């Protein structure tokens, strides 16, 4: 069995004094040997301003705090329009804007990689070339970790570009474990699933977490909510269950 590498958390909750990321900080402290891949999304990508602009001050405070935890990888969200060539200039601009976070001197708001949302699942040569250009820019900009999110089973060619590919993103009621189990072990080790709208009890979630671990997925998330801007009612339980299932504290 290949153990999952990380909890994958799409964290689209805007950090303020009234909506802090305290739940995440607590889990990072409680499970220092568990890897958390955290996707931040200031404004469907980076804000149009640079990190020196005061409108990003809430994110600077939150990300600089998050950066103090060695078990957190931080990804910047970008939308891609499934490789639409007309959106390519904006995509490359967004990646370059995130790269400026890594050279911001007043605070450590360093990002580890880019989360590419709305990526295609079917291979197309011209679209592949667009994503190859984008991922090359990310890696050359020291945003070296890359996650693709087609939200469904993707063709294997895209694994040459991404470290992880989300092979399912959807409601718990729609999750078909057999489709994930049908993937080769090598593919599953670099695959992720994001499951929202879970109606599981805490005990049933524990069983489900163990099942996903046994599949050998690269990373996954389970949340009771339908929004990535709110915390799962079972978030703390999930992080404990995940850590226990992979045999770490």
Residue 1 has pLDDT above 70, yes or no: no
Total-model pTM: 0.96
The rounded distance, in Å, linking the Cα atoms of 153 and 92 is 25
Mean pLDDT, the chain, rounded, equals 95
Please give the full DSSP string across the chain, using - where no structure is assigned.
-PPP-EEEEEE-PPP-SSS--HHHHHHHHH-TTS-EEEEE-SSSSS-SS-TTSGGGHHHHHHHHHHTT-TTEEEEEEEE-GGG-GGGHHHHHHHHHHHHHHTT-SSS-----EEEEES--SS--HHHHHHHHHHHHHHHHTT--EEEEE-SS---GGGGGT-SEEEEEEEEGGG--HHHHHTS-HHHHTTEEEEEES----HHHHHHHHHHHHHTT-SEEEE-SSS-TTS--TTHHHHHHHHHHHTT--
Query: What pLDDT score does 248 carry?
Result: 82
Query: What pLDDT score does 16 carry?
Result: 87
Spatial contact of 108 and 70, defined as CB atoms under 8 Å apart: no
Alpha carbon 135 to its chain's center: 15
* Tens digits of residue pLDDT in 182-213: 999 999 999 999 999 999 999 999 999 999 99
- 196 forms beta bridges with 171
Residue 17 has pLDDT above 90, yes or no: no
Instruction: Name the architecture of domain 6-245.
Output: Alpha-Beta Barrel (3.20)
């Amino acid at each position: 069995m290949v153990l999952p590498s990380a909890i994958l958390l799409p964290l689209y909750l805007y950090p303020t004094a009234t909506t802090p990321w305290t739940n995440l900080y607590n889990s990072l402290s409680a499970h220092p040997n568990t890897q958390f891949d955290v996707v931040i999304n200031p404004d469907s990508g980076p804000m149009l301003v640079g990190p020196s602009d005061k409108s990003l001050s809430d994110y600077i405070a939150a990300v600089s705090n998050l950066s103090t935890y060695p078990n957190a990888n931080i990804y910047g969200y970008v939308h891609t329009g499934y490789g639409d060539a007309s959106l390519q200039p904006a995509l490359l601009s967004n990646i370059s804007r995130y790269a400026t976070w890594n050279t911001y001197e007043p605070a450590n708001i360093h990002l580890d990689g880019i989360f590419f949302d709305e990526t295609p699942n079917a291979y197309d040569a011209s679209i592949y070339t667009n994503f190859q250009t984008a991922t090359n820019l990310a890696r050359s900009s020291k945003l070296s970790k890359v996650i693709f999110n087609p939200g469904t089973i993707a063709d294997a060619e895209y694994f040459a570009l991404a470290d992880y590919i989300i092979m399912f993103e959807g409601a718990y009621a729609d999750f078909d474990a057999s489709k994930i189990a049908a993937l080769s072990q090598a593919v599953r080790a670099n695959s992720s699933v994001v499951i929202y709208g879970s109606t599981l009890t805490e005990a049933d979630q524990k069983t489900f977490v163990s099942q996903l671990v046994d599949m050998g997925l690269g990373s996954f998330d389970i949340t009771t909510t339908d929004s990535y801007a709110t915390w799962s009612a079972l978030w703390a339980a999930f992080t404990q269950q995940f850590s226990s299932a992979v045999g770490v504290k």
